[in-house]
Structure 1
Amino acid sequence: MQFIPNILFAIALILGVGYFSRNVKKLIRNIKLGHDVDVSDEKGKRFNNMLRIAFGQSKMVVRPVAGIMHFIVYIGFVIINLEVLEIIIDGLFGTHRIFSSVLSSSVYGFLIGSFEILAVLVLIAVVVFWLRRNTIKLKRFLNPEMKGWPKNDANYILYFEVVLMCLFLTMNATDAPFQEMNSGNVISGFMAPWFSGFSEGTLHIIERSAWWLHIIGILVFLNYLYFSKHLHILLAFPNTYFGSVHPKGELDNLESVTNEVKLMMDPNADPFAAPANPDAVPAKFGASDVTDLSWLQLLNAYTCTECGRCTSECPANQTGKKLSPRKIMMDTRDRLEEVGKNIDANGGEFKDDGKQLLNDYITAEELWACTSCNACVEACPVSINPLTIIIDMRRYLVMEQSAAPMELNNMMSNVENNGAPWPYNQMDRLNWASES
C-alpha cells in the first residue's frame, strides 16, 4: 500500500512524457516536410544569436514594459521549474524534499526563497499581461486573426501560470516541516497563518493535494504546448540559432531559375536537348503550399509567438492594407497542421485535399501589399522571417501563374524590351542631356 502513490506518480510521469514525445515526433515530421536548406555556415554567429536573443531576451526588451514582464515570466519558468526535479525524485522514491537533506539548510533555503519571490513576480507579470490583453485591449491583440482560439489560447496560458504559482506557494505554506525550518519561506511564511486553524492531518492533505495538482498541472502544461502558440518556449532556441545571418535585404536566388539562366548563357548548350531524367518532375518556381517551403520556414511558423510586433511595425498594415505578417505565419502553421493530420489519417501518405496555402489561406492581395521593407523581420523577438514566405509565394504567382499585378507586368515588360523600368526606347535614354 505504501508504494501505491509512487506507482501512480510513475504512471502519470510516463503518460505525460510519452504523449509529449509523441507530439514532438509529429512536430519534427511536419517540419521535415519542407525542402532542405543549408544553415551550416557561421556557427559562432548563430550560437551568439541564440544566446543573445533566445536566452538573453535582447529583442523583447526593446519594448520595456512587455519586455521586463516577459523576462520575469521567462526566468520564473526556467528557475522555478528546477524544483520539478525535486518533485520527480520525491514522487518516484517516496522521499520528501530530498534536496533539503542533500544541500545545507542555508543553500536550500536560498533556493526555495528565490523560487517563492519569483512566483510572486510571475503572478504580478501575468496580471499585467491579462490587463493588457483584456482590459486595456492593445490594438495589436485585436486584429482579425486574433479572434477565437488565438485569443483564448493566450488567456488560457495566463490562467495556467496563476494556478501553478498559487499551488507552489500553497504547497510550501502548508508543509509543516518546511515551515519549521524557517528558511526559504519568505512568502509562504506569511501565508502559513491562513491555515493555522486546520489540524495537522488536514494540513497534510492540503499540502499533498497542492503537490499532486502542481506536478500534474506541469505535465498537462507540457503537453498543451504542442497545441499552443507557447510552443515558442521550446522552439525559440533552434529558431534563433538557424535564423538568417545574412543582411536583411539579401534575397536568395532560386536554384531552378539560376540553372535556366546558366543554360541560356551557355553558347554550347542545346535548347532542344532532351532532359537528363525525363521522368523527373520539373522544379516548381516559388511556393504555393507548405511543402514548397523550406524546413526553416516551417520551423518559423511553429515558433511564432503571435505577439503581433511584426504586424504593428508593418507599414502596409498601418496604412490599412490587408497584410498582417503575423497572419502569414499563423496561416502557414495552420495549413501545415492540416497537412500533418491528412498524413496521419492516410497511413503516412498525403492525400490531395484540393487545398493549398495560396488562396485557401493567404490571398494574393496580402502578398502584393508587402513592401519588402523587413520591418517585420527586425521586430520579431525570436528571429522569424515572414518575408521569405511572402517572396516565395509571389515568385510562384509571377513565374508559374503569370499573375502579377498590371503595374508589375508593365515594369517587367519594359525591362525586357527597353532595359529599364520606364517605357522609353533605349535610343532615347540620353535625350534629357541634350535638352537645355
Structure 2
Amino acid sequence: MKPAVPPSPPVSAVRGEIVHFLADPAHHAHALEHFADGVLVVRDGHVAECGPAAELLPRLPAGTPLADHRGRLILPGFVDTHVHYPQTDIIASHGEQLLEWLEKYTFPAEQRFADPAHAAEVAGFFCDELLRNGTTTAAAFATVHPASVDALFEAAQARRMRMITGKVLMDRNCPDFLRDSAETGYAASKALIERWHDRGRLLYAVTPRFAPTSTPAQMRLAGQLFREHPGVFLQSHLAENRAEVAWVAQLHPEARSYLDVYAHAGQLGMRAVFAHCLWLDDADRRRMAEAGAAMSFCPTSNLFLGSGLFDLRRAHELGVRVGLGTDVGGGTSFSMLQTLNEAYKVLQLGGQSLSAAGAFHLATLGGAHSLYLDDRIGNFMPGKEADFVVLDPRATPLLARRSAACATLEERLFALMVLGDDRAVAATHVMGTPAWRRPGP
C-alpha cells in the first residue's frame, strides 16, 4: 500500500500563473480570475489567500515554505464525475459497443475483484493514475463486491483524495458470479454507508449499474437507501446507447422514458449523477434540472463505443448540472486534458463550440458544482480544500512551440487541452501537500 501522504505544514505557499473560476464563464463576464504572477497561500490544508505575488509575498510569515512554479499554470485539481476503477485493466480493449463491451470485457474483469488483494492493488494504481493526471476528486464505480469499495476508499484515504464510490447493484441480466439480490445489495450498501460515508473526504454513492441490471425491487431499495441517508450520492448510467434505450423500453413498458424508470424508483434528486445522457428529450432534461440531478459528459467513451454525441448546449439552456467524466475503461484516457480535447471535437460535430475557459471550468468548478461540492472544492476561494494541479506549457516540444506563439490566456489554455496530456502535469497537490511530482530536475 502507498504510504500515507504526510500532513502539510501549517502554512505554505505556491507561486506561479494562477487560473481559477469564480462562476461559469458562459454566464458571467468576469468568471475567470487570472494572476500572471500569483501566490496561493495554504493554511492547514485549506486556501487562506490567493492573489498577486507582489501583494502576498511580503505578507508571508518568515520561513514559510514556498514552491516556485513560475512559468507554469496553477489550477484547481480536476474533478472526474464518472469513472470505473475496476476497468483500469481493460482500457484500450478493441471494438464493441456498450452491451457487447459489458459482456466481453467488463463483467470478466470485475469478477476478479472478489479477491481483496487484487482490489487493493488496482485501487492503489487507479488513485496514483488519477493524481498523475491532475485529478484530485472522482466519482468512481467499484464492483458488486463490498471489498472493492473498501479497497478504493482505503487507497483514497491514504492519499487524502476526495473520493465518491459505492458497491454496484445488479440482480438480473448479468453473470451469476456478479449477481446479488435486492435484499443483500441493500444490506451490504447500508453497511458500507455506515462504515465510510463522510469519513474525512470520503463520500458514498448508491450505485445501481443501470436499469437493465436491477429488478424493480432492487431499484426501489436503491432509491430507499438514497432517501434514508441524507448526503449520500447516487450514480448510474442513462441513455448511453440506442440499443440500451430500446432494451429499457422493453423491460419497462410502463415508463414514459429511461429517466422515468429512475424517477419512479426514487433515484432522481440532488447528488444523483447519471453518466452519458445522450438519447434524452427536453422533457427529461427539464426533469433532471428541476430535480437537481447531474449529467456526466464522457466524450472519449462516447466516441470509443460509438454511442453518440452529447448536447451540452441544450443541457445548459435547460439548467442541468453537468460535469466531465473520463469513463475509463470505455473512456480512453485518465487525462482530463485529453478528455477536454475530445469534448471539443464532440461538440464541434454537434454544431457547438467549447471555449477553453468553458472547458477548464467544466473540469474544475463546473464538476464540483455538478456534485454539490463547490462549497469545498473547485476554485481558490478562502476556506476551500487546497487541491491543485500544476500544468507545464513547455512539457513537450510541440506544446512549447505552440504556447510560445499564443497571444492570449485563452489561446494558451486551448493549446494545453488539445496538445496536453499526462506529460503536461508537473505536480498535483492534495490539501496543499504534494501528492505527485513529475520526475526530473
| TM-score, structure 1 normalization | 0.23
| TM-score, structure 2 normalization | 0.23
Structure number with the higher strand fraction is: 2
Structure number with the higher helix fraction is: 1
Instruction: Please tell me whether Structure 1 or Structure 2 has the larger radius of gyration of its CA atoms.
Output: 1
